[in-house]
Each structure stands twice: as C-alpha cells, then as structure tokens.
Amino acid sequence: MDMRTLGRTDLKVSAICLGTMTWGEQNTEEQGHAQMDYAVSQGINFFDVAEMYPVPPKAETYGRTEEIIGTWFAKTGKRRDIVLATKVAGPGSMDYMRGGAKLDRKSVLAACDTSLKRLQTDYIDLYQIHWPSRATNYFGQLGFKPSDDSRAPSIEETLGALAELVKAGKVRHVGISNETPWGVSEYLRLSREQGLPRPVSIQNPYSLLNRSFEVGLAEFAHREDLGLLAYSPLAFGMLAGKYLNGQRPANARLTLYARFSRYNGDHAMAATQAYADLAREHGLALNQMALAFVTSRHFTTANIIGATTIEQLQSNIASHALKLSKAMLDGIEAIHKRYTIPCP
C-alpha cells in the first residue's frame, strides 16, 4: 500500500482511507469490525468517521459509527496503529446534536469530548470541520447566493477552538471539509497571521462524475500542501455501475434512500455509461478504474473508500494496485470533455 505524507506533518497515511459512514445503519457492529480487520490486513492505517455518522443521520443512530470504531479499538488494542480522522458537524436541522450543531467555541469543544468518549481514545489525529458555518456552496450547490450569515460563528472562532484542542493534546492536527477556495484562503490567513493551527487536509467530493475540485482547489492543494481526502469517489455507488439501465439493487444506498439524488440524474447516467463502456474496452471493472483515477491524482493524499459488504471492500481496496495506461487516461479525458461536471 502506498503511504503518503499528511500535509506538512510527520504522519504517513495509506493512499486508501477506510470510510465508515454506513456502520450502524446499513452495517452492524460485527460487520464494521470485520471491515477494519480486513483493511488493516491490506496495509490501510487511515480511518475516517464523523460525529454525525451513520448516514442518513438521525437521532436514533447519532454517534453510532464512532462507537463501533471505539469498541474495535478496545477489542484489538490497535489504536496506536491507526491514523484516526473524525469531524465536528456544522449547522443544520439536527437538533439532537448538542441542541443544534454549531461551530462556535463551546460546541466544538463539547463535540470533541463526546467523540473521544465514543471512540474510546484520548486523542484524535485529524479533527475536521465537516462543513462551513457560513452560507456558501457545498453538498452539490452551484451558484453562490449571498445571504445574511453575520450571526454564524466565524472561521476565526472555530479555528481558535481547534487551537485549544490542539494545545490540550486532544487533537494532533486539524482539517477542513466541503470547503471553497475562499474558505481555504481564510483558514490559511488566520493560521499565518494569528499563529492558529494550519489545516493539513481538505475533504471534498471528487470522482469521475465530479471533478469540480480541479477548478479552484487543486492549486491550493499543490502550493499549500493541503492534500485532498477524496470522498464519494464512486459517487454513492453510481460508478460501480450497479444503477445502470434502471437497476435498483436491493439494499443499495440509492435504492434505500430516495433523498440521495445528487448522482443519479440523466446526465450522470449518460456519463456513467460512457465510463462503463471505456472500462469494458480495456478489460477493467468500472469501480476499480474510477477509484484508481482518484487515487492517482497529484493532489490526492487519500481516497476514502467505503463499502457495505466485504466483497465490495476487497474489490475497492484492490484498485490501489491498478495503474491506468495513457490510453485509458486519454479516454477518460475525452469523456470528461463531453460531461465536464455532470454532478457538482
């Protein structure tokens, strides 16, 4: 397994990161433990979770994914072998989270403490802001629309709270997620001018169906050592090919949860079919071609791979050994010109 440096730290993380957001909803605790066991056996040392997981979020399962990781740590004693990343939720309608998730100082500090308890650890290697407090473009939104967010906690307040956690030894490094170029520049400015923690990574969506990261953020990743932790590299399973031709497999995410419509429009289907045809021409599985592409990008630190079955996980992790030929990359670019960003 390829190991890569996390930002400007001394941490080495596997190029494949184990995603966990189905554990506690689509996967049981036993299945989550089995996935961690297998991932570690394949050289993966990087796990990613969030306080709001599993997805879709709801009060009955809030925090369950972190708890599953915590019981695995307690059972195996492997905490020191793992680079552990989790996230504090931004604002939203989830009132069951501390009376309403926020990114003010009090909420960030409280969120970290409860995550530590669920994870059964006394430190988090990478603590990430899950999404911004301010009104901006994330989760598929296009077209910035100014609104009055003057009462939202500032990035300065949020980063100041993270600084307290770093000073207390509860957090080693900080990261951001679902951020924009302006947000990245503001975090870096405050870090530089006020001596606050410098983000070491950015976790944003990136896949063959959504290469928007390349437009304004790839240059930040390159020049500021702010590596991408790519989430949804298979676009909610669309790039596994299992939804083509109107298929809706039992227990698949888009079958179970109609709310996830980001990657299943007509344009997405057409682009996916084109990529499936390309993979078939070269004798490859679509999921492995799609994942290998994400892992190979110069700005990618880690590709966050999740699965609901061990068989899916095995196939997805195996993609790390696949090297795409020039002919394949040229084919991908040709399709990209036809369907530039079918899913934002």
- Identify whether 243 is a catalytic site residue: no
Residues found in the chain = 344
Q: Answer yes or no: are the C-beta atoms of 84 and 13 closer than 8 Å.
A: no
Phi and psi angles of residue 204, each rounded to the nearest 5 degrees, phi first: -130, 165
Calpha distance 142→109 (Å, rounded): 32
Question: What's the sign of the alpha-carbon dihedral 196, 197, 201, 204?
Answer: negative
User: What are the CA-CA distances from residue 104 to residues 53, 111, 123, 161, 248 (Å)?
Assistant: 20, 11, 21, 8, 41
Taking the alpha carbons of 275, 277, 278, 279 in that order, is the dihedral positive or negative? positive
DSSP-H helix ranges across the chain: 29-41, 64-76, 105-119, 155-167, 181-194, 213-216, 218-223, 253-256, 266-281, 286-296, 310-318, 326-338
Q: What does DSSP say about strands 12-14 and 3-5: parallel, antiparallel, or unpaired?
A: antiparallel
Cβ contacts of 128 within 8 Å, gap of 6 or more: 50, 85, 86, 87, 88, 174, 175, 176, 177, 201, 203
Q: Which amino acid is at 151?
A: R
Three-class SS state of 30: helix
- Options 38, 53, 138, 257, the catalytic residue: 53
Catalytic residues: 53
